[in-house]
């Protein structure tokens, strides 16, 4: 229950108070940036998120400082927006260089097609932002209570005018929903040496026409998808546009709203949700309907309790029909009913493909999105070499991986040669299991992690691979998604197998979602020690192998048989009662 204000009505949350007093996100950031302290004050920490910047510390360093619990080595995670995951070789190279020069020597491709750097210290923040700007990219609205990086299928298939039109629509929408505040330029892009006021074109302050002075009650996420290719997990977003097309022409978009994954287990009022089908719009109304939905969320979202401030809760509280009516009022006309088209395919675009203009693209699986050099595994160096030598176009997928585009047929062997020379496998050499797995960042940087994720999933996959092979399931595609807490940054709640951090070393297992992303899974077992995960999952796979119907997918099988049925079967198998224990 939110606190009441003196005059009645719920008290705005601390973040709302900070935003209200911030003068369009400025607050005290500029002042605190040069105050000599290693970090920022509470209000600025919240405002910084709108500039893609999170104050963090390495949680392992914390532990190792005996008797000095309160001392933390503060550094920053910075997220750069990459709308639709589209960038150039030069931009990715610059991002990798910045990781080496200013960050922790790695970069991270995210589940929403953007890039994260970790380990940037306060004194280097401004230089970092200026480099991002020089690289023609931005961190503005990569995090915070605004529209985040908008997702779209990144596959560069020329001659597929539907995909082209969809990708172009994303670009329009990203510009339309971008915050207009000049705070970003004032704080980060002024030149302290020359005292120059702004490096970029000046002009009068523009009051936020869409967001207003307090922006949105919470983060807001949007994705585009094709019915035949839901590679962006459109139903996990606050707002989704599913293309309706016929013979190469986009007829319009089915609009879905109110998806979101994060839950707080201790707060029963929170839940994961898939977006609900709201209505259909022609292409020229995409910007208008998006703006109307954002504004309804701005005006009716909960501003006192951030746990229930996402659009999914606004819809839950208002009821879908009332929400639709309010959206229609803001939109200025009624919404047509949804077209029957819905998602029915999913492609991660991994592998070698013709792109329709005589050239090729190569979908390269980056395990958990981490671009790093380690002993015997020089992934960062290999990617640098590919980018410098072949100058491909680059796309980031919603599965934390890369597409190298515009390649010649002969580049295929060269890419394999470069990868092998650096101890890296090609996408064709990794298992289907690994290809479809993904983990969130979690420890040591994420302040919300209760368990490991990115650092332990590869090992779990190592142990599962032989079990999957023994069961003859090596070619089955199913999603395994792991997170270090229930906030669900790797979207575990609509996957075939979801593994969600419960407490240190222990996880909740979920089953019954699917690759298609249009069904939530259900809790299968709770508080499972990490060491038990391989056995538990193998038992589920054994059940699937024994009892599936025809080409049924893992998620569909678990859904049909029911969680209880799978559990009983798998437990008997584990106990040896089925002769396999
Ligand atoms: Fe996330 C918070 C990382 C995609 C739901 N997420 C965080 C923070 C910033 C932790 C924090 O608040 O202190 C994590 C930074 C960790 C670090 O050290 O880097 C973080 N989220 C990520 C990324 C990098 C995970 C990854 O491995 O790729 C993804 C960045 C996406 C991007 O480029 O914008 C990321 N986060 C997601 C997704 C997936 C998606 O959007 O498709 C979700 C679930 C969908 C959703 O939003 O509901 C997600 N992140 C959350 C939540 C829970 C939100 C909620 O409504 O309950 C939080 C916590 C919060 O907002 O309070 C969170
Ligand atoms: Fe951190 Fe939790 Fe998100 Fe993982 S799911 S990155 S642990 S907030």
Question: For the chain, which domains are there?
Answer: 434-580 (3.30.413.10)
**Ligand nearest 447 Cα, by number?**
1
The verdict on whether 79 is a catalytic residue reads: yes
User: CA 560, CA 566: separation in Å to the nearest integer?
Assistant: 10
Return the pLDDT at 214: 96
Q: What count of other Cβ atoms lies within 10 Å of the Cβ of residue 405? A: 23
**Ligand nearest 453 Cα, by number?**
2
Q: Which two tokens stand for residue 150?
A: 């908008």
User: Which stretches of the chain drop beneath a pLDDT of 50?
Assistant: 1-3, 195, 197-202, 581
Q: How many CA atoms lie within 13 A of 212 on its CB side?
A: 12
Q: Which of 79, 380, 491, 561 is catalytic?
A: 79
User: CA 392, CA 406: separation in Å to the nearest integer?
Assistant: 6
Q: Are 227 and 345 in contact (CB under 8 A)?
A: yes
Alpha carbon nearest to ligand 1 atom 54, residue: 262
Q: Are 363 and 401 in contact (CB under 8 A)?
A: yes
Q: Which of 152, 153, 231, 485 is catalytic?
A: 485
Q: How far is the CA of 443 from the centre of ligand 2 (A)?
A: 8
User: pLDDT tens digits for 132-150?
Assistant: 999 999 999 999 999 999 9
Q: How far is the CA of 574 from the centre of ligand 1 (A)?
A: 35
pTM: 0.96
Work out the burial of residue 121: count CB atoms within 10 Å of its CB; fewer than 13 is exposed, 13-18 middle, 19 or more buried. Answer: middle
User: pLDDT tens digits for 164-208?
Assistant: 999 999 999 999 999 999 999 999 998 655 545 444 444 556 689
Among 390, 301, 418, residue whose Cα is nearest residue 89: 390
């Amino acid at each position: 229950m939110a606190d009441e204000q003196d005059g009645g009505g719920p008290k705005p949350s601390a973040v709302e108070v900070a935003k209200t007093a911030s003068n369009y996100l400025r607050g005290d950031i500029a002042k605190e940036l040069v105050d000599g302290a290693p970090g920022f004050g509470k209000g600025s920490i919240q405002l910084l998120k709108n500039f893609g910047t999170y104050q963090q510390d390495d949680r392992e360093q914390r532990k190792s400082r005996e008797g000095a619990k309160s001392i933390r080595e503060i550094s920053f995670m910075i997220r750069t927006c990459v709308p639709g995951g589209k960038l150039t070789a030069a931009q990715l190279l610059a991002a990798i260089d910045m990781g080496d020069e200013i960050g922790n020597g790695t970069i991270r491709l995210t589940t929403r097609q953007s890039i994260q750097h970790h380990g940037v210290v306060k004194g280097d923040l401004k230089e970092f932002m200026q480099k991002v700007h020089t690289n023609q990219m931005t961190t503005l609205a990569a995090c915070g209570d605004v529209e985040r990086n908008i997702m779209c299928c990144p596959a560069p298939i020329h001659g597929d005018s539907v995909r082209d039109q969809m990708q172009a629509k994303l670009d329009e929408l990203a510009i339309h929903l971008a915050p207009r505040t000049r705070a970003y330029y004032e704080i980060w892009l002024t030149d302290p040496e020359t005292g120059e006021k702004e490096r970029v074109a000046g002009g009068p302050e523009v009051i936020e026409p869409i967001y207003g002075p307090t922006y949105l009650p919470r983060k807001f996420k949007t994705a585009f998808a094709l019915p035949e290719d839901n590679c962006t997990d459109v139903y996990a977003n606050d707002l989704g546009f599913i293309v309706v097309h016929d013979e190469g022409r986009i007829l319009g978009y089915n609009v879905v709203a109110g998806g979101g994954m994060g839950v707080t287990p201790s707060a029963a009022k929170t839940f994961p949700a898939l977006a609900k089908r709201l209505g259909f719009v022609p292409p020229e109304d995409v910007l208008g309907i998006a703006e109307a939905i954002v504004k309804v969320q701005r005006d009716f979202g909960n501003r006192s309790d951030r746990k229930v401030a996402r659009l999914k809760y606004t819809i839950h509280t208002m009821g879908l029909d009332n929400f639709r009516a309010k959206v229609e009022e803001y939109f200025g006309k009624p919404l047509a009913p949804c077209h029957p088209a819905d998602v029915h395919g999913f492609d991660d675009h991994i592998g070698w493909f013709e792109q329709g203009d005589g050239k090729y693209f190569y979908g390269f699986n980056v395990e958990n999105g981490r671009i790093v050099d380690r002993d015997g595994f020089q992934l960062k160096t290999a990617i640098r070499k590919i980018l410098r030598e072949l100058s491909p176009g680059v796309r980031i997928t919603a599965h934390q991986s890369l597409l190298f585009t515009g390649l010649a047929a002969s580049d295929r062997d060269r890419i394999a040669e470069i990868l092998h020379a650096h101890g890296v496998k090609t996408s064709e050499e990794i298992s289907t299991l690994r290809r479809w797995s993904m983990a969130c960042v979690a420890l040591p940087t994420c302040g919300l992690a209760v368990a490991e994720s990115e650092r332990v999933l590869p090992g779990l996959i190592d142990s599962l691979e032989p079990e999957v092979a023994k069961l003859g399931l090596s070619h089955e595609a199913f999603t395994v998604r792991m997170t270090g807490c229930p906030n669900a940054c790797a979207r575990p709640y609509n996957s075939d197998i979801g593994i969600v951090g419960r407490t240190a070393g222990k996880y909740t297992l979920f089953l019954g979602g699917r690759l298609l992303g249009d069904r939530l899974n259900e809790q299968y077992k709770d508080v499972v020690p990490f060491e038990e995960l391989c056995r538990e999952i193998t038992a589920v796979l054994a059940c699937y192998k024994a009892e599936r119907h025809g080409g049924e997918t893992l998620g569909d099988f678990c859904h049909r048989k029911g969680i209880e049925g799978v559990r009983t079967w798998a437990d008997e198998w584990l106990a040896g009662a089925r002769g396999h224990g």
